[in-house]
Amino acid sequence: MRLGTGVGGKLDGVAAVAKKAQQNGFDYLTCGELAHDSILTMTVAATATSKIDLTTSVTIAFPRSPMVLAMEAWDLQTLSKGRFSIGLGSQVKGHNERRFGGTWSPAAPRMKEYIQMMHAIWDTWQEGKPAEFLGKHYRFTLMTPNFNPGPIEFPRPKIYLAVVGDAMARVAGEVADGILPHGGIMTDRYMREVLLPNVKIGLERSGRTWTDIDIAASGYTVYGENDEEVAKGLDGLRQALSFYGSTRTYHDVLELHGLKYLGDKLHGLSLNGEWRKMKAIITDEELLKLTQVTSYANMPTFLKENREYASNMGFGIRGESTKDLMKEIQALETTGVPRGLEM
C-alpha cells in the first residue's frame, strides 16, 4: 500500500516539507486548496524533490476552464518528470458562486465533461487527434500550432476525483483514474454502502474493472495506544466534523448513521456565525457512531481487514519512531476490490 503525506501553507515552507517527506520514505505528497493555490504548491514541491510522486487533493475545477488545468498539469508532468497527478473537486454551490464568483450547474455531469475534455486536449497534444470535443457544458474545437505544447515523454497525468455523493462516485468510476473520498467527512459504512457500489456502476458503464482505478483508504479512524491518545484523536475529528457537518451537501453521510439532526444543528450555527460553538455540541457518542478505533500496533491488520479496497492512504509525518510501521504498511498487499462488489 502506498503512503502519502500532505503539505500546505505558504509557498516559502513547501520545499522543506516536500524534501522531508521524500527523505522519510513516503510514496507521494498531496496538497489541498484552502488558502493557497494547489498548482503553485506542487510546482514548488516538484522543483524541490526528485522521487516522490505529487498529487493535488484537491484542485477546485469549476472556477478554471478544462484547458487551463490541462495545460498546467501537462507542464507539471514534464517539470516533475512524470510524477504528477491532479485531483479534482467540484466544491459546493455556495463557494463556486459566492467565493469564486463563478457559475453553478449540477456537478456530476459537468465534472464528467470536464475530465473528458482534459483527456481530449491531451490526446490532441500527444497523438495529434483533432480538437472535436462537444459537450453540453464544455467545448474544445480549436487548437492552432502556436498554442499546442506538443507531446511529452511521460504518461499523461492521472486524474483523481473527489467524491461524496453517489452521482459523482459513478462519474469517478466511469472516467477518472482514481477516487479521493472526502477526508473531512467520511465513514467506512458510507464508503461501502454508498460510494463504492456507485463507483462499480461507473466502472461497468465504461467497460472497466477495479484494476483500472486507484482508491484511497477512507473513513473516520482514530489510532491510539491508550484512552488519552484516543480522546485526542476524537477531538481532532470533532473539529473536522463541526466544519464539514455544517454543509448540507455532506448531510447524507450523517443521515446514514441517524445523525442528520446534528448536521441541521451545525448548519444553523454556521448561518448565525457561531463557529466556536459548533465543535462543543458534538458528543463522543455521536463521534463514535462515525469512527473506527484501533491502535498503531494493530494498524497493518486493521488496514488489511477494513481497507482491502485501497491502494493508498494518507499518513502524517511522525518521525523516526514510525518508520518501521510505515515500511510494514507499505509492504501490505491489498486486493483492491471491495468485499461483496467483485466484478
Task: Round to whole Å and give the CA distance between 222 and 171.
Answer: 30
Judged against a pLDDT cut of 90, whether residue 320 lies above it is answered with: no
One DSSP character per residue, 112-136 reads HHHHHHHHHHHHHHHH-----EE-S
Q: Are 89 and 110 in contact (CB under 8 A)?
A: no
Q: What confidence score (pLDDT) does residue 319 get?
A: 62
* Residue type for position 242: S
120-124 long-range contacts, CB within 8 A, separation 24+: 121/66, 121/67, 121/70, 122/70, 122/74, 122/156, 124/148
Q: What confidence score (pLDDT) does residue 315 get?
A: 85
> Average model confidence (pLDDT) for the chain?
95
Task: Round to whole Å and give the CA distance between 153 and 308.
Answer: 34
Please report which helix (H) or strand (E) contains residue 5, including its range.
strand 2-6
Q: Are 27 and 55 in contact (CB under 8 A)?
A: no
**Mean predicted confidence (pLDDT) in 99-127:** 97
Greater confidence (323 vs 42) lies with 42
Instruction: Output the CA–CA distances (angstroms, integers) from residue 327 to 17, 25, 27, 30, 311, in the order listed.
Output: 20, 9, 11, 19, 15
One DSSP character per residue, 257-325 reads TT-HHHHHHHHHHHHTT-HHHHHHT--HHHHHHH-EEE-STTHHHHHHHH-TT-SEEE-----GGGHHH
Task: Round to whole Å and give the CA distance between 296 and 230.
Answer: 11
Q: What band does 75 get if pLDDT is binned at 50, 70 and 90?
A: very high
- Please give the domain boundaries of the chain with CATH numbers for all domains: 2-220+296-330 (3.20.20.30), 222-290 (no CATH)
Q: What band does 243 get if pLDDT is binned at 50, 70 and 90?
A: very high
Task: Round to whole Å and give the CA distance between 64 and 69.
Answer: 7
Judged against a pLDDT cut of 90, whether residue 322 lies above it is answered with: no
Task: Round to whole Å and give the CA distance between 288 and 265.
Answer: 18
**Mean predicted confidence (pLDDT) in 254-282:** 96
One DSSP character per residue, 209-225 reads -GGG-EEB--S-EEE-S
Give the least confident one: 23-32, 36-45, 217-226: 217-226
Task: Round to whole Å and give the CA distance between 140 and 134.
Answer: 7
> Distance between alpha carbon 120 and the CA centroid of its chain, in Å?
23
